[in-house]
Amino acid sequence: MPKQSTPVNYGGQAVIEGVMFGGKNVNVTAVRRKSGEITYLEVPRTDKPWVRSLRRIPLLRGIVSLIDSSAKGSRHLNYATDAYSEDQMDPEEYAKEKEKEQSKTNLSMILGVAAVGILSLIVGKLIFTVVPAAIEGFLFGRLFQSQFLHTLLEGLIKIILLLAYLWGISQTPMIKRLFQYHGAEHKVITAYENGSELTPEKVQQFSRLHYRCGSSFIILTVIIGVFIYSLFHWDGMTERIIQRIVLLPVVIGVSFEVLKFTNSLRDIPVLRYLGYPGLWLQLLTTKEPTLDQIEVSIASFNRMRELDAQLERQTATATLPDASPDPVKG
């Protein structure tokens, strides 16, 4: 099969026992059920005009992409979780559990799945920003005066906490399988970008690491954060933490632009090394998938492209929305 000249930069994410892929006009999740069957969740993309406008603005587009991915990804994560729960329970027990859930007025019902996804993202980012600064201040606050050195140590603590967290959760069987599906998602995207035939055996030959992965984005926010935080003076822990929170959107926006830049350089022998820290982190966040897991990933990718093509034909005579796939999520 000839190599494609301009492949679309598709993105995706792993879910429990499956993979979600985002296209121009639709997001598709495929999950492997206990029976061996592959089932799908297909959700058309409906980006608001103002969201599409913000996606064109440097710095702002990174924040918009992150929030949008969290909001839309929550529905697909819930679908996969429900499918897994249904497979693990007796039909009667599952029906009773669903009835209990529907009778409860919980946070998800009040705010909606998308809002809960965004709220979880914000809380996670705040914790990961505040805790390392507090730990560094407690351990080293009175040892020296250099704020750059304090910021550097804060970044190192953040990386240590991140690596410890990822290593810890990767020891559980469910998360290990989730990371295998993450690897399967990367392999399919890489195989597509290289014009390969999408069969489990062919896709398995490609690397499970990918430059545009969200893991690369995480490590970039730590590195970029050290430089941005170093530009501002602070007096006391309270001011330091408030400053970190206020500057968090700036760190996210700049990191997104750097990720896009390093991805554009990945074919240049010397400059491709700029993206290596993110690839190293993926050694923790991805695992080698099985052929069965790659089959699910291929099924999701093919179904997404099939629906994308159908929607393109249906709207060929209308004005198409500029809903490009998220280059960060992977």
Tell me if 321 sits within 8 A of 216, measured CB to CB. no
What confidence tier does 328 reach under pLDDT thresholds 50, 70, 90? very low
110, pLDDT greater than 80: no
Report pLDDT digits (tens) over 194-244. 999 999 999 999 999 998 888 888 888 999 999 999 999 999 999 999 999
Candidates 131, 90, 129; CA nearest to 221 is: 129
pLDDT of residue 95: 65
Q: What residues make up the domain containing 64?
A: 11-314
Q: pTM of whole model > 0.85?
A: no
Give how far Cα 199 sits from Cα of 118, 191, 294, 302, Å.
35, 9, 8, 11
CA pair distance 241, 244, nearest whole angstrom: 5
Burial grade of 240 (CB within 10 A; 0-12, 13-18, 19 or more): buried
313, pLDDT greater than 80: yes
pLDDT of residue 148: 94
Q: Among 134-143, 178-187, 198-207, whose mean pLDDT is lowest?
A: 134-143
Amino acid at 284: L
In the three-class reduction of DSSP (H, G, I as helix; E, B as strand; rest coil), residue 15 is classed as strand
DSSP 104: S
Report pLDDT digits (tens) over 61-82. 888 888 878 777 888 988 999 9
What confidence tier does 315 reach under pLDDT thresholds 50, 70, 90? confident
Which two tokens mark 108? Answer: 């998800």
For residue 237, being part of any structural domain is answered with yes
CA pair distance 232, 147, nearest whole angstrom: 9
Percent of residues, the chain, with pLDDT higher than 90: 51
For residue 323, being part of any structural domain is answered with no
CA pair distance 36, 15, nearest whole angstrom: 16
36, pLDDT greater than 90: yes
**How many structural domains are present in the chain?**
1
For residue 112, being part of any structural domain is answered with yes
Query: What residues have CB less than 8 Å from 147, skipping those under 6 apart?
Result: 230, 233, 234
For residue 330, being part of any structural domain is answered with no
For residue 227, being part of any structural domain is answered with yes
For residue 124, being part of any structural domain is answered with yes
pLDDT of residue 114: 52
Candidates 22, 7, 25, 11; CA nearest to 316 is: 25
CA pair distance 283, 96, nearest whole angstrom: 40
CA pair distance 162, 170, nearest whole angstrom: 12
For residue 329, being part of any structural domain is answered with no
119, pLDDT greater than 50: yes
Report pLDDT digits (tens) over 37-59. 999 999 998 877 887 888 888 98
Query: What residues have CB less than 8 Å from 289, skipping those under 6 apart?
Result: 180, 181, 183, 184, 187, 204, 208, 297
For residue 322, being part of any structural domain is answered with no
What confidence tier does 275 reach under pLDDT thresholds 50, 70, 90? confident
pLDDT greater at residue 118 or residue 20: 20
